[in-house]
Structure 1
């Protein structure tokens, strides 16, 4: 069986070492733009291919930092990688994703710097953040059955996911945002594919923007993302929590945590997002 995420993140080698081609699909879009998590996953896979070879293979993303320079669109894409350091424990590489427009101009979409290693060696749990208490998936709100995902229509991306929202943090979907800037949910792929380290980078950017809970509509494009993969996820549901505490001008930070079906923290991130604040907006009471 070909899973949707695997099809969306397929890469083909080119004649240039460390360079690959693929295709972005509108099936993974939010409005006109392809989800940034898919863009990062393609870059992560390309880096895995170049760092997963050699005498000291490092195939697992540990730290991934990305700057988004323009919106990725449905169509052909290219990712070029450069190995910056190969070490015995960690290796570092850069990935640049580009697309060629109808006018022939090459546009850079994202530039990422990532450190790779071996999660089986690097992730014994010594101390960790516990998952928040929340109802099980069957007791949460199925986003696919909701009429709306807050102040905007359901984007194609959400049909690729099985997303169950904690009823305690879904007031925004009913037009009653809490103003706390927090969401909690169970999440997995809709077609049954289990998560792996590469897809954790996608999931870290897959939730509805936490700005919805602040009463701010519209999607929140990512400007910069810094993520850490802390463990290899067990099969089953992922539990997510996203929060934001600071809104200055049109910029908001969004912090995300992911636990696997064992309750083990497997990924975390912080991203800086751009939000359009409506005229006359005031924080919900």
Structure 2
């Protein structure tokens, strides 16, 4: 019984405090798709930034899969000794630029000057998201940092107000909005408490086969067969350059694809290849 009690206490300490173990994946929240099942007033709404997800565990900056991000020391020196969740962002349509910086083991100090760490949560299992918003906003504003900023959250009372904000985001080059359930406590993994509202959605899948091309793609890859984490298998035949068709994503690699809702059989509708996911 003493051994059981020791391990239970250890687990509680790890869950309640920031962890800085290398390559341990943080228990981050992952969004589902907004389907208007609850009133808009139940949520806080923010812009969705197309950056690289980054978790500060109190000592180290990590990707959501647990890999250390070798940011310059001056970039992380201002961050507090607590868990923060956010996006590394360098402006609209600059995902590839940030992704290349994150993959480097030796930081490029000059290019990191263009990066902002946009905070959207300060995870705490005892607080609702509405309370966590007030908390992370206070923490980040208290840093008085040029490159670390809190993401604003908005209250809307109806779908028309949400759509107006959504349209404004798209017009300035954004990719969509996020809805966090106000009363929800932090829950790791894919959750309906966090929703994304986008004209096109993206998801990930593993490549399980290459299908031969026909016509102008004769002798090249025509489509890839993929399998999602939920076990759904389907083909993706669009979104590729000719170069990618000659040298397609490797079998076993994880790719990101875009889609527009689901078919009646539960498969992504109009799926299109976006990119190979970096092994971060």
Report the TM-score, using the length of structure 1 for normalisation: 0.24
Q: Which has the higher strand share?
A: 1
Q: Which has the higher helix share?
A: 2
